[in-house]
Amino acid sequence: MPNSFVRSSVAVILAVVVPLGLALGLAERSSAQDKSSSKLGPDAKAVAAAKQRALDFLRTTQADDGSWTSPTAPGISGLVTYSLLRAGAKADDPTVAKALNHLAGFVQPDGGIYYEKSDHRNYETSITLLAFAAANGDGRYTKLIAKARDFLKALQWDDTEGKKESDTEFGGAGYGKSKRPDLSNTAFLIEALKAAGVSNDDPAIKNAIIFVSRCQNLETEHNTTPFASKVNDGGFYYTPAAGGNSQAGPTDNGGLRSYASMTYAGLKSMIHAGVKPDDPRVQAAFKWIRKHYTIEENPGMGQQGLYYYYQTFAKSLDTMKVGLLEDTDGGKHDWRKDLGNHILSQQKENGSWVNKEPRWYEGDPNLTTAYALLALVYCEPVSGKQ
């Protein structure tokens, strides 16, 4: 997540117990525990009340034109709109309808959905596509979504930009201003393409996973960059391109430090794209997550990017169908309850959330509240075995 996280838009902006045989080593349970079935997650009424307060807050901060924070930042407005829809608001809700109308004003002739002077065309299009896909129950946005999907495919770094599969940029997506792809943008690209109905056999998804794999500190045939062997802990960093970068900084031997928000983003992307649970890349990433399990900070980054971390954390573990998570010390965690209760405890009286560490614009309560809402959606109680 670069320092240019937001300029004309904001960048950076996602139990069923895992079936036997997935070979992930998740939440092993004794036979006695398996006999006890109950709910996993926080109190449902408390979650519902918090979501309602957040919805009420976001209704009050929406501008007359339907935007949040900035009329030329569809990334923020798109993320807020998406969070409202995922939290239960309907497409014909006045607040949501006004927001969707505002976002539709950014549709460009090339199919992208972005501010015309923006350097963040992949991010803005990916986020707004997610919002329109969530509002497309009656098919009204089908053509818009299809054009945005094709725009994203064309924007992806591949042979159309003269990149060979051996190039570290290949398959990725990024901010135009940075002139290189990164894992955060690529994770949003994959999520948007999947929401638009793109299959895992599509070249765009296959190429994206090539890039994602090169963001992992794991020395395999999938990552032959000079960074993989220097850390080799299974976690993920920001980008292998343009000399490599980790927001957590370099290691003494020239490697790139792994950190949690990118590790969850990388793992989620692999699962979304059909990489199997017993794949060494998935196994290694999940081992890193088990070793660094916490809701107190974004491991590797402290309080920076905390709410981005929360929504990626929740979305990733839900995508993996994790019930109880067993850390590497043997402790078992109801992650939905841990994360959900922590997020509930941080909600302000006005219904918002805000990060005291404002980097990457998490000092903006509209953005941070959207992240918190998205995380809570995946923390809602589910049936499971304790």
CB atoms within 10 A of CB 39: 16
47/218 Cα distance (integer angstroms): 38
pLDDT digit string, tens, across residues 43-61: 999 999 999 999 999 999 9
pLDDT at residue 179, rounded to an integer: 84
Q: Is the pLDDT of residue 20 over 80?
A: no
Q: Is the pLDDT of residue 94 over 50?
A: yes
pLDDT at residue 108, rounded to an integer: 97
pLDDT at residue 16, rounded to an integer: 35
Alpha helix positions (H), 178-279: 183-195, 203-213, 228-231, 260-272
Q: Is the pLDDT of residue 91 over 80?
A: yes
74, 8 contact by CB (below 8 A): no
pLDDT digit string, tens, across residues 276-328: 999 999 999 999 999 999 999 999 999 999 999 999 999 999 999 999 999 99
156, 193 contact by CB (below 8 A): no
Given CATH 1.50.10.20, say whether it is the number of domain 31-385. yes
Please name the residue that has the structure tokens 């109905």.
197
Six token digits for residue 56: 């009420």
Q: Phi first, then psi: give them for residue 326, nearest 5 degrees.
A: -100, 120
pLDDT class for 383, splitting at 50, 70, 90?
confident
Please name the residue that has the structure tokens 């109680």.
381
pLDDT digit string, tens, across residues 159-196: 888 899 999 999 999 987 668 999 999 999 999 999 99
Beta pairing partners, 180? 175
Nearest C-alpha neighbor of 122 from the set 70, 66, 200, 183: 183
CB atoms within 10 A of CB 44: 12
State the average pLDDT for the chain. 90
pLDDT digit string, tens, across residues 342-371: 999 999 999 999 999 999 999 999 999 999
pLDDT at residue 6, rounded to an integer: 40
pLDDT class for 233, splitting at 50, 70, 90?
very high
**pTM of the predicted model as reported, rounded to 2 decimal places:** 0.89
pLDDT at residue 36, rounded to an integer: 44
256/127 Cα distance (integer angstroms): 28
